Structure 1
Amino acid sequence: MSNLEDDPAEGTCGGEGADGPVLELLEARSVVLGRTTKVRRLLPNKDRRMVGAWCFVDHYGPDDLTGRVDSYDVPGERGMLVPPHPHTGLQTVSWLFEGEIEHRDSVGSHAMVRPGELNIMTAGNGIAHSEVSLPDGPPTLHGAQLWVALPDSQRTTVTPHFNAYADLPALELDGARGTVMIGTVAGVTSPAPAYTPLVGADVQIDPGRTVSLPLAQAFEYAVLVVGGSLGIGELTPGFGEMAYLGAGRNEIELIAQGDEPARFLLLGGEPFEEQLVMWWNFIGRTHEEIVAARDEWMASIDAHGNDRFPLVPGYDGDALPAPALPGTRLKPRARRR
């Protein structure tokens, strides 16, 4: 997904190790992306900008798409409409709980994003893609869009590519079950590509059950609640809230509060200590890199594609122009405030 804010804030992170075991509640801020999608943005957060290499987390829906209107003026009423837009220095991770989205990209991929199926796009030095809810699609849209920062050793050298996984490994615990999206949880490993030690899983705990979830001591973790409510020590994050767990744990006890299952995304990884500069849909290391990426994207729109950002085949419509850069230099800052 693109960051479609008209005046995107400078996002800067990296360069500082994680705390030990902590419990912090990270509240989302509401963001309207373009004209069609309202999201809850969890990362970057005012206090925590990253969890491992996870540097951007948007949670959206569930949106009722029945009786779709003919225009795209009201967020949520037509689902998702994100025209072709660029990315650099990251992976996009698309995960749906309900609904369907059509993905197209500049390396020629065309795929449907569906619940329980992972779509992961590795931008490398440059890629463009679109994401659209189709008129005859399912009536509800609920999902998460996440970015993973690529390390300096890979961010400009890895070939842009797209991977889709319809059959991911299942996670079975006493009182819980889930799907490992990326990395390894409780000995269950996903085939999805990762360029730093990383983990992501979709987990559901039965009502009233307490589950001991194995963790890697060297990783920092967070959980994003997408259904029901969790008990984590003194915290009780509910729908759309994220709890940051810090690092240094071998396991953690999670309780499904109330009479319904608790569903959450587990996100974690080794603390990402490289300095990053994030602006709009670009991740770089310097102000000059971001300026160059923006210039090449705008040139690609004028030229109908170029070497760094080719056209997105099959998309019927205009690409998304980049916003104006801020009047000050973009600088990296600490991964937390």
Structure 2
Amino acid sequence: MSNTETRPAEVRCAAGPHTQPPAQVEVLSARSVPLGGQRGMAVRRTLPQRARSLIGAWCFADHYGPDDVSSTGGMDVAPHPHTGLQTVSWLFSGEIEHRDSLGTRALVRPGELNLMTGGHGISHSEVSTAGTTVLHGVQLWVALPAAHRHTASAFQHHVPHPVPLRGGEARVFLGSLAGDSSPVPTFTPLLGAEITLEPHAATTLAVDPDFEHGVLVDTGEITLAGQALGPAALGYLRPGSATATLTNTAGTPARLLLLGGTPFGEEIVMWWNFIGASHDDIARARTDWAAGRRFGEVEGYDGDPLPAPPLPNATLKPRSRPS
């Protein structure tokens, strides 16, 4: 998915202190962003924001739906570029056709991981299929560390199987949780899992104490370490906890994503669909996209590629992580 904002925020991220106070949950609220124009499908964006830019290497989170595509037209994101990151597509309902400049044509379906590595440069399009009536899911980005920022582009697909939990189940699409591990390799230690909980159920999960974690609530009323989280909220739990207790306080089933990773120990600049180490990295990527270099072509999309918005009239500067 592209960040289609006409004035995308500049984000600089730096490592914070590793000495942490006792566990507490920081609640990050989402803001609504129209995808593809003011009349397009709205998404709820929780990362990045001023309060926090990353959770581990997770640097972008859009949560959308349930969206009636007969009213909004669904998702139609024209070919656009990416550098220095990976895109993670995860659906709850509906279907999206992915095409990229590697020649990949794949369908994103509920419960199936589609992971695209941008690295030095890739372009892709995303369009909900004709048979989709309700579109519902998340789009996530992972920042690549400097040693792998210019790695070759790639595409991977994985179908995780359900893992039973007390009061629910999990699908682990990246990393390890509840005795299950994803075979998809990552460039930094990461966790990504969908968790469903029965009404009024609680489950305690063993988690890596070196990880910071985020809980993105889709449905239900969740408490994390005693903090209430409603739908679309993202709860942040700093490193230091060896367990995470999740409780569904609602009388209906709940669904959430559990994201985690070691604190990202590098400064990055993120603007539009690019991640780099500096303003110059971003400016070069934008120039290359405008000139038709570096990112290849997406075949089979009916329409023109997305133009890059103009760069701001100031040097893009990173923002420090909260301490």
TM bucket (normalised to shorter chain) is over 0.9
1:330 aligned residue (299, 316, 322)? 316
1:65 counterpart residue number: 69
Q: Percent identity?
A: 51
Distance (whole Å) between structure 2 residues aligned to residue 45 and residue 186 of structure 1: 30
Distance (whole Å) between structure 2 residues aligned to residue 277 and residue 114 of structure 1: 31
| Deviation at residue 176 of structure 1 after TM alignment | 1.7
Partner of 1:212, secondary structure, is strand
Map 1:217-232 onto structure 2 (within 5 A). Answer: 217-232=209-224
Map 1:202-221 onto structure 2 (within 5 A). Answer: 202-221=194-213
Q: C-alpha offsets along residues 258-293 of structure 1, whole Å, 9 cap, x if unaligned? A: 211121000000000100000000000001000000
- The farther-off stretch of 88-97 and 32-41 is 32-41
1:315 aligned residue (262, 283, 301)? 301
Q: Report the TM-score when normalising by structure 1.
A: 0.92
- The farther-off stretch of 228-237 and 106-115 is 228-237
Contact 2:32 2:43 in 1 (8 A): yes
Determine if the alignment matches structure 1 residue 131 to structure 2 residue 135. no
Distance (whole Å) between structure 1 residues aligned to residue 14 and residue 195 of structure 2: 28
Map 1:79-94 onto structure 2 (within 5 A). Answer: 79-94=74-89
1:39 counterpart residue number: 43
Letter in 2 for 1:121: M
1:117 counterpart residue number: 112
- The farther-off stretch of 191-200 and 19-28 is 19-28
Change in CA separation of 1:17 and 1:183 when aligned onto 2, cut-off 3 Å: farther
Distance (whole Å) between structure 2 residues aligned to residue 215 and residue 10 of structure 1: 32
Distance (whole Å) between structure 2 residues aligned to residue 317 and residue 45 of structure 1: 31
2:156 aligned residue (149, 159, 163)? 163
Distance (whole Å) between structure 2 residues aligned to residue 17 and residue 229 of structure 1: 32
Contact 1:207 1:260 in 2 (8 A): yes
Determine if the alignment matches structure 1 residue 10 to structure 2 residue 10. yes
Distance (whole Å) between structure 2 residues aligned to residue 53 and residue 14 of structure 1: 11
Distance (whole Å) between structure 2 residues aligned to residue 225 and residue 191 of structure 1: 25
Distance (whole Å) between structure 1 residues aligned to residue 295 and residue 138 of structure 2: 25
Q: C-alpha offsets along residues 163-200 of structure 1, whole Å, 9 cap, x if unaligned? A: 112x2143221112020010011221011221000000
Partner of 1:143, secondary structure, is strand
Determine if the alignment matches structure 1 residue 152 to structure 2 residue 146. yes
| Deviation at residue 205 of structure 1 after TM alignment | 1.1
Partner of 1:119, secondary structure, is strand
Distance (whole Å) between structure 2 residues aligned to residue 142 and residue 103 of structure 1: 16
Letter in 2 for 1:56: F
Letter in 1 for 2:302: D
Contact 1:17 1:273 in 2 (8 A): no
Structure 2: tracts of 5 or more residues without a match? none
1:74 counterpart residue number: none
Distance (whole Å) between structure 2 residues aligned to residue 177 and residue 320 of structure 1: 39
| Deviation at residue 17 of structure 1 after TM alignment | 4.2
| Deviation at residue 335 of structure 1 after TM alignment | 2.0
Distance (whole Å) between structure 2 residues aligned to residue 224 and residue 140 of structure 1: 20
Tell me how large the CA RMSD over aligned residues is: 1.3
Q: Report the TM-score when normalising by structure 2.
A: 0.96
2:165 counterpart residue number: 173
1:282 counterpart residue number: 274
Contact 1:53 1:196 in 2 (8 A): yes
Structure 1: tracts of 5 or more residues without a match? 69-76, 301-305
| Deviation at residue 37 of structure 1 after TM alignment | 2.3
Contact 1:32 1:38 in 2 (8 A): yes
Letter in 1 for 2:47: L
Distance (whole Å) between structure 2 residues aligned to residue 237 and residue 90 of structure 1: 28
| Deviation at residue 13 of structure 1 after TM alignment | 1.5
Contact 2:95 2:110 in 1 (8 A): yes
Q: C-alpha offsets along residues 93-143 of structure 1, whole Å, 9 cap, x if unaligned? A: 000001111100001100010100100000011000000112x22210001
Distance (whole Å) between structure 2 residues aligned to residue 147 and residue 182 of structure 1: 13
Letter in 2 for 1:7: R
1:99 counterpart residue number: 94
Contact 1:50 1:336 in 2 (8 A): no
| Count of matched residue pairs | 319
Distance (whole Å) between structure 2 residues aligned to residue 62 and residue 196 of structure 1: 31
